[in-house]
Structure 1
Amino acid sequence: MTTMVATTVPALRPSWVRYAALATKILLFGLLLSALIWPDLSGIKGKASTARLVVYPIGAMVLPLWWWAYGRTRSKLHPSFPWRADLLITLPWLIDLIGNRLNLFDTVVWWDDAMHLILWGLLTAGVLLAFAPPTLSRGLTAFVALGFGATAAVVWELGEYVAFIRSSPELQTAYTDTLGDLALGTLGALTAGLTIYQTRARLSR
């Protein structure tokens, strides 16, 4: 009986994560499709909607595309598709889209700050699980997390500025808001790096 539990429980976890990752992608693409059909109800109208409709699918599919083109035959880190990493990388795009659909960014004072902290943490954690070797030290894991997270945060803020902020009323407060977003995104990335290191260290004991 003990042997049966030991062999079946680990098999259930990847299945649950796999279904969650697939469901997240289906919901994301469903929301994107509805934004194309009913743009006025999308919550992203006037917020670089065209750019989001392009960037979000790419962000959600970058890991599967990498796996199909390279990882499945050459990846030494993952013998099978990294579903946990895929779920973590997809969630930020979905949560951001839901937040815009429900108008939370404009109606909840703390929502934007929380999203920059949490979503950047999720994204960085997914990237680390997908591409960073588990043998990295705590310092190197934090360094890689900061390198990715801070760079991605800067690219995101530049994209927002070019896409819609420079021609919107938000330009008046953009400097302060951008500094805060960069700080929170970087903090989220660092937290994700330390969390991933601690989790991997605990599992390897």
Structure 2
Amino acid sequence: MGRRLLWLNVGVKALLVALLLFSVTSGLERFNGKAMSARALAYPLAALIVPVVWRLRGRPRPYPHMIDILVVLPFVIDTGGNVLDLYSVWWFDDVAHFLNWWILVSAFALALQRTSLGRLPSWSIAVGFGAATEILWELGEYTVMKLGSSGLQLTYEDTIGDLALGGLGTLLGATIVFVAFRRGVVRESSPTA
């Protein structure tokens, strides 16, 4: 299981790099005004969060491949959605906000289960993390738009909808991890935790 997760982890990160390279080198018009160069810098840095934290903590337990994969997947979905021009499909942005926060908060909730916090405090912190990161994402979109980006079609309704869907994804991600640990489906010593 651990070896498969390792290769899946490497594959997800390689896919992210390939998608980002394509987005900044292809010259396709669909990437204009979408801050792909900034994403090409920020997303790989975000993909380093789990390895850096794991190393700073003295490499406790087996490497948390599942957490690492889940942290990187939202960036793959976002970049892949741009590469495939899925954001031009009316429903994709909504699905992406829900799904990405479900995945990201699941990763964070799994990471919290590796600490000495109780399950309910971990759930609460994971929900707070999801809400805060969704708000920061929306502020980032707003800032990019105000700096002159033409690739984002932001409206009040879109922002509120994104916050609501990200919030629902957040609640689902934190709750599924909470319930899975409570029922013993996932254990703290599991390579996925």
TM-score bracket, shorter-length normalisation: 0.7 to 0.9
- SS for the counterpart of 2:90 is coil
Supply the distance in 1 between the matched residues of 2:52 and 2:31 (Cα, whole angstroms).
26
Q: Distance in 2 between matches of 1:135 and 1:160?
A: 35
Give TM-score scaled by structure 2 length.
0.85
The answer for unaligned runs of 5 or more in structure 1 is: 1-12
Per the alignment, residue 129 of structure 1 pairs with 110
Contact map agreement 1:121 1:192 (CA 8 A) in 2: yes
Name 1:140's counterpart in structure 2. 121
Q: Percent identity?
A: 34
Amino acid in the other structure paired with 1:102 = L
Coordinate RMSD, CA, aligned: 2.2
Q: After superposition, give the CA deviation of every residue in 1:30-86 in whole Å (9 maximum; x if it has no partner).
A: 121222322326x43311222211221112121112223x12x1x6xx512100100
**Residue among 49, 62, 75 paired with 1:93:** 75
Q: Which runs of 5+ in 2 are unaligned?
A: 188-193
Task: Say which is worse superposed, 183-192 or 162-171, in terms of deviation.
Answer: 162-171
1:37 counterpart letter in structure 2: T
- Residues 105 and 112 in structure 1, CA contact (< 8 A), matched pair in contact too: yes
What are the superposed Cα offsets for residues 5-28 of structure 1, whole Å, 9 maximum, x if unpaired? xxxxxxxx2222221111000111
Kindly indicate whether residue 28 of structure 2 is the aligned counterpart of residue 47 of structure 1: no
Q: Per residue, is there more helix in 1 or in 2? A: 1
The alignment of Structure 1 onto Structure 2 pairs a total of residues equal to 184
Aligned to 1:36: 24
**1:196 and 2:184 aligned:** no
- Give the conservation status (yes or no) of the 8 Å contact 1:51–1:163: no
Cα drift, residue 137 of structure 1: 4.9
* Alignment partner, residue 56 of structure 1: 43
Q: Higher Cα Rg: structure 1 or 2? A: 1
TM-score by length of 1: 0.80
Match of 1:18 in 2: 6
